[in-house]
Structure 1
Amino acid sequence: MKTILGISAFYHDSAATILVDGKIIAAAQEERFTRKKHDASYPFNAIEFVLNFAKIKLSQVDQVIFFEKPFLKFERLLETYVAFAPRGFKSFCMAMPIWLKDKLFQKKMLFNELKKHDDNFNDDKKIYFSDHHLSHAASAFFPSPFEEAVVLTADGVGEWATTTIAIGKGNNLEIKKEIHFPHSLGLLYSAFTYYTGFKVNSGEYKLMGLAPYGDPIYEDKIKSNLIDIKEDGSFHLDQSYFNYATGLTMTNKKFDNLFGQKVRDAKHEKLTQYHMDIAASIQKVTEDIMIKIAKSLKEEFNISNLCLAGGVALNCVANGRILKEKIFDNIWVQPAAGDAGGSLGAALALWHIEQNNPRSIDLKDSMQGSYLGPEYSQKEIEEQLDKAGAKYEIIKDEELLDKTATDLSKEEAVGWFQGRMEFGPRALGGRSILGDPRSEKMQKNLNLKVKYRESFRPFAPSILKEDLSEWFDINVDSPYMLMVSNINNDKIIEMTEDQKNLFGIDKLNIKRSEIPAVTHVDYSARIQTVHKETNEKYFRLIKKFKEKTNCPILVNTSFNVRGEPIVNTPLDAFYCFMGTDLDKLIIGNCYLDKKDQNPSLKKDYTKEFELD
């Protein structure tokens, strides 16, 4: 038995993964244990979890691999500061002591941290380092169902690379082309996240969700001034508008002057139509670049499969466009496409590329639905709920599903906690908040009363795979909520001329389809197809809901409030339930009704987490 522990850490979304004989056994992000969103610290808890799950001590692990090379990253920082000198001296002075003290000597630091798990771990020759973009590419190709594929990775920046093209075949994967820092599609998108007043590295989803409320009227301004896009999709950013290479902000005054407004102060300034148009413009530019790259890759390599990874691959609207344009026959996106997935990719790269182990392709899903985190037995669930002072009934599966489906059909908001926790940023029916998609109030209520977040943010439909093409203009699996598609015309309710003229967010309250809670303002939805093989209980719940309502869809959003990581333990779930307007909570076979709970256990959740 050969075991590899993969680690990603120290930028954002630290995580750990364990492979046994090349099979993915467990993976989790550190944030779920520490309750600090995007936690970047050494993933002590995540490592403890994956080791325990695999029933192995660290000293028995064959190799430990870190997802990137610190020396190359240090070289980039030094060269960047030299190239831009004397600009950026302040951030140089801030960055260097940290690098000289900790990051440059990462092997020693990792070794010292690893010893805390197991005193008998005493061989630093077991520690390896992967390349950041190779880790991403490996996380996308090796679990994919393809023998051969083009792999496109796009993110902020790794060591030097910001966009890479690799070719995967069998157990081999080779990077063929790279675009280097400071030219980065991820950082360009993040610059606009920052400019519209959202938090970089977590607010990008908001920018994407805001885009359909606007018109891309600044598209030409972006393409004429900020970015020079070549025919093959490669690009060059004009650094005179940005500050991220050396400064402490993403954009500068020249950027503000170009668009005619300052950076939005989220605390004091409301979102306006201007911000929606800005969001629409950068979203359109991003999609255009991804389409151009995809077309040129298909032409150059003539391979019919595409894999995507890196933070930009979480832009499910762009993914949906690549799919719709039928550039490739098949597309597969790594569900943990951001840095957390680097822990998985680094381990897989070591196993297949370095050690030349054969790869067996699982046409179903070698990511196992991405349900790779902790799970709790019925006994453990009851112990945690008793400790919290919760009141609950224990109900057998069939009746539990029937009761939950009835609650949902009455427009109640339900916390759903079953099986293993998801790996990656999306809740996929393991740690989810569920609702009735036919309800006109559901999107607004879930956003404002349960999630404490902006009302414009869209929710995803979970749909039985067999009913997919009856409701949406898509016929391929989308188990990870990484594809956006339009709702079918026969389910749409057309807006009147008066409604079309409403100000951006006022359009939110207009019923646009038979399933308004999951229909975005542009008639699109971020789809999750649900499969019996990967999540039988969730599949059966949706089936039961369909029997009662003739609708094979549920609203699915992550089980957390704004600024909080997705819940991990039954205790996390109970606290979130008591701190929000959720009506019911189903954990394992425990059924909790809000009305039965002791009101003194209610938490003020609005101030519990720092807003993202």
Structure 2
Amino acid sequence: MDNYILGISCFYHDSAAAILRNGEVVAAAQEERFTRIKHDAAFPQCAIGYCLEEAKVKLDELEAVVFYDKPLLKFERLLETYYAYAPLGLISFLKAMPVWMKEKIFLKREIKNGLQSVQQYDRKKLKLLFTEHHLSHGASSFFVSPYEEAAILTIDGVGEWATASIGWGKGNKIQILKELHFPNSLGLLYSAFTYYLGFRVNSGEYKLMGLAPYGNPKSSQTQQFVDLIKTELITIKNDGSISLNQKYFDYAIGLKMVKEKKWEQLFGISRKSPEEVFTSVHLNLAFAIQQVTEEVVMKMAEEAQRLTGQKNLCLSGGVALNCVANGKLATNGPFENIYIQPAAGDAGGALGAALAVEHIYFGRKRSFKANKKDAMKGTYLGPEADQAELDHLLQIHRAVCHEFESVDQLTQEVASLLDQGYVVGWCQGRMEFGPRALGNRSILGDPRNPDMQRKINQKIKYRESFRPFAPAVLEEDAWSYFEMSGDSPYMLQVQPVAKQLRQALPDDYHKLSMWDRLDVPRSELQSITHVDLSARVQTVSKETNPKFWQLIDSFKQLTGCSVVINTSFNVRGEPIVCTAEDAYRCFMRTEMDYLVINNCLFGKQAQPKWKKQDRWQEEFVLD
């Protein structure tokens, strides 16, 4: 008889659900993809419904339902923190208490009621379990990794008390060796700078990471900012543990991340508004906090290696989505191998909670296979864009498409469109779990085209022009385009573009404005080369995603280039598309040129030649 375990994360941000069958990851998805509310924190009713449907199981058949942290421990931290600072923080306390009393203290009731909204079940038979937050994160990485034994490093904002932890995984066991506790948090420090530089906390951190390379590493101001951060805001110890000077922060008991007047006195600039133009001061400050973050991550990793003696490292937690730090850790760190959970943030906690119960609570062994890829199935764990859904879309919208008889014909045609400078939406198979689009819900372009970065940012994504794009490269060719060894299947490492592809930069390069720097020729793959000559690489495996691999290979056969631009299929402020309907709607609302759903090509540029078909829909033929 099969065993099913459902994992849930919700009520903070990025709610999600995941389900295991006999320890195998069957399905996982974020709630935002269904509700279309970015970073949706609500109970993941839709995600749970999808997971049950994909696994073909009912709630009454589940062995256990697991929540990804322990709310009473969080409540303890809240009360102790307010007590320590009393009478300060009264306003924040009064605002927080009603929410905690309604949703958090009585979380068992909330979860059971939420499950009832998914489908009817016997509440008395339900086994409802809770794991600790950092154990969920660590389990989400280690138990799906290709390692029998590894060090585990989790870094985020805060769980119950822990803000960073070092663990040791072996077989089906995880031992937590060391923790850093609230209010000292590298994640919250980075979020504080995210806030101060005009981005939204819990969603703008990756924008700050993308902004940092525009800072001038040679500027005395940049070094001054680094020194101020390390002398006034943070104390960094040799083991990677940190202490934050709370006189500058307000997140513990206040309603903001920082005490703005003190930061203004410290750095000489006021908090940037979202509408304000970036100046060199903002850019240098972004560079400074990124550099400090990388230093702390490296020290924590070195401590993890010292404590465990392992050659393998598993990374998780929101800070593990800092691709720049990951790349430097992979290149210069103390570990031979690094595995990063693709849904490293809170969404991945749902999966980790289920895995922790499977292996630690029930004690079942991992189906481990040495030297194989991880157990995430490329993280293609979401709903599939199936033919029935596509047929419904065609009927409702009377959309015009050409359906190719073979994948070869399709990929050759799309490769030709990319070569001609067109932007193509690519919606295939099962949706990715985690924040990155990895070739199933992607927008694609030609990286050799120097105008492509601005075109996609401004006319399709409707987002900030400074934002870089990631390259998707054939796994076997990655070494010839980027200075890297090994693979990066989840777009979670930034690595330098190969020297032979770079172009010489002008002597005054770092003195140019950020917008002028964007126009400076940097490499033969201009539109995926960031201003610091790096790229956030995705290596594409023929085994994991054969159709996306074949498309890039078709582009290679046509152009000699094994790389395409790969960015998430969404516009600013919206989640990545989930359904064929979502993809078509996004396609029609933007200046995207073509859309591919399964083997069907939709177009705007070509003048259609109409002809009747046996099926009720009509098609166009490209000239």
Query: TM-score with structure 1 length normalisation?
Result: 0.96
Q: Deviations over 1:241-297 (max 9, x none)?
A: 000001111011212211112111113x11111111111000000000011111222
8 Å Cα contact 2:385/2:597 also seen in 1:
no
1: distance between equivalents of 2:61 and 2:459? 48
Following the alignment from structure 1 to structure 2, what is the Cα–Cα distance between the partners of residues 382 and 119?
Answer: 31
After TM superposition, the structure 1 = structure 2 runs for residues 368-387 of structure 1, keeping only pairs within 5 Å, are: 368-387=377-396
Q: Which residue of 2 aligns with 1:119?
A: 120
Q: Give unpaired runs (5+ residues) of structure 1.
A: 599-612
1:55-204 aligned at under 5 Å gives the runs: 55-123=56-124, 125-204=126-205
* Corresponding residue number in structure 2 for 1:601: none
The superposition leaves residues 410-460 of structure 1 with CA deviations (integer Å, 9 ceiling, x where unpaired) of 111100000100000000000000000000001111111110111111110
Tell me, yes or no, if the aligned pair for 2:152 and 2:304 is still in contact at 8 Å.
no
TM-superposed CA distance for 1:498, in Å, is 4.1
The aligned residue for residue 321 of structure 1 is 328
SS at match of 1:285: helix
Q: Please name the residue that 1:419 is paired with.
A: 429
Paired residues in the alignment total 597
Kindly indicate whether the alpha-carbon contact (under 8 Å) linking 1:391 and 1:597 is maintained by their aligned counterparts in 2: no
Aligned counterpart, 1:603 = none
8 Å Cα contact 1:12/1:39 also seen in 2:
yes
Comparing 123-132 and 363-372, the one that deviates more: 123-132
Q: Contact between 2:302 and 2:333, CA under 8 Å: does it hold in 1?
A: no
Contact 1:193 1:200 in 2 (8 A): yes
- Amino acid of the structure 2 residue aligned with 1:367: M
Kindly state the Cα deviation for residue 386 of structure 1 after the two structures are TM-superposed: 2.5
2:497 pairs with 1:490: no
Identify the match of residue 571 of structure 1 among 581, 598, 605.
581
C-alpha deviation, 1:105, in angstroms: 0.8
How far apart, in 1, do the equivalents of 2:190 and 2:400 lie?
Answer: 46
Q: Which amino acid aligns with 1:483?
A: Q
Aligned residue in 1 for 2:247: 240
Asked if 1:430 corresponds to 2:440, the answer is: yes
What is the match of residue 276 of structure 1?
283
Please give the per-residue CA displacement for 1:158-211, whole angstroms capped at 9, x wherever unaligned. 111100111000110011111010000000000000000000000001100000
Equivalent residue runs for 1:552-591 within 5 Å: 552-591=562-601
Correspondence 1:458-607 to 2 at 5 A: 458-595=468-605
Equivalence for 1:6: 7
Query: SS of 2:384's equivalent?
Result: coil
Deviating more after overlay: 379-388 vs 328-337: 379-388
* 1: CA distance, partners of 2:208 / 2:544: 31
CA contact (8 A) 1:191 1:250 kept: yes
Q: Distance in 1 between matches of 2:557 and 2:279?
A: 42
SS in 2 for 1:372: strand
Deviation at 1:301, TM superposition (A): 2.1
Given that 1:388 and 1:571 are in contact with CA atoms closer than 8 Å, whether structure 2 keeps it comes out as: no
1:254 to 258, 262, 270: 262
Q: Tell me how far apart the structure 1 counterparts of residues 119 and 501 of structure 2 sit (CA, whole Å).
A: 58
List structure 1 segments (4+ residues) > 4 angstroms apart after TM superposition: none
Separation (CA, whole Å) in 2 of partners of 1:5 and 1:413? 38
What is the identity, as a one-letter code, of the residue corresponding to 1:513?
S
Aligned-partner residue type, residue 228 of structure 2: K
Shift of 1:597: 9.7
| TM-score, normalization by structure 2 | 0.94
1:220 to 227, 243, 258: 227
Contact 2:60–2:125 (8 Å) recurs in 1:
no
**For 1:43 and 1:461, how far apart are their aligned partners in 2?**
32
Provide the residue aligned with 1:388 in structure 2: 397
User: Equivalent residue for 1:602?
Assistant: none
d(CA) in 2 for partners of 1:425, 1:203: 13
How far has the Cα of 1:95 moved from its partner?
0.5
Per-residue CA deviation, residues 394-415 of structure 1 (Å, 9 max, x unaligned), is 1122211111000001111100
Contact 1:18 1:54 in 2 (8 A): yes
**1:406–1:545 CA contact under 8 A, matched in 2:** yes
CA contact 1:114–1:121 (8 Å) conserved in 2: no
493-502 vs 53-62, greater mean Cα deviation:
493-502
2:271 equivalent to 1:263: yes
Distance 1:139 1:552 in 2: 32
Q: In the alignment, does 2:336 pair up with 1:335?
A: no
- In the TM superposition, residue 365 of structure 1 has moved relative to its aligned partner by 2.5
Q: Which runs of 5+ in 2 are unaligned?
A: 217-221, 609-623
Question: 1:298·1:328 contact (CA, 8 Å) conserved in 2?
Answer: yes
The answer on 1:32 being equivalent to 2:22 is: no
* Paired letter, 2:575: P
Match of 1:354 in 2: 361
Q: Which residue of 2 aligns with 1:206?
A: 207
Deviations 1:532-564 (A, max 9, x none): 111000000000000010000000000000110
Identity %: 54
How do 1:281-300 and structure 2 match up within 5 A?
Answer: 281-300=288-307
Preserved CA contact (<8 Å) 1:111 1:124: no
Alpha-carbon distance, 1:579 to partner? 0.9
Alpha-carbon RMSD across the aligned residues, in angstroms, is 1.2
| d(CA) in 2 for partners of 1:88, 1:501 | 43
Measure how far apart 1:101 and its partner are. 2.1
Kept in 1: contact 2:140–2:351 (CA 8 A): yes
User: Equivalent residue for 1:365?
Assistant: 374
Deviation of residue 596 (structure 1)?
6.4
Distance 1:15 1:379 in 2: 25
Structure 2: distance between partners of 1:298 and 1:189: 24
What's the secondary structure of 2:339's corresponding residue?
A: strand
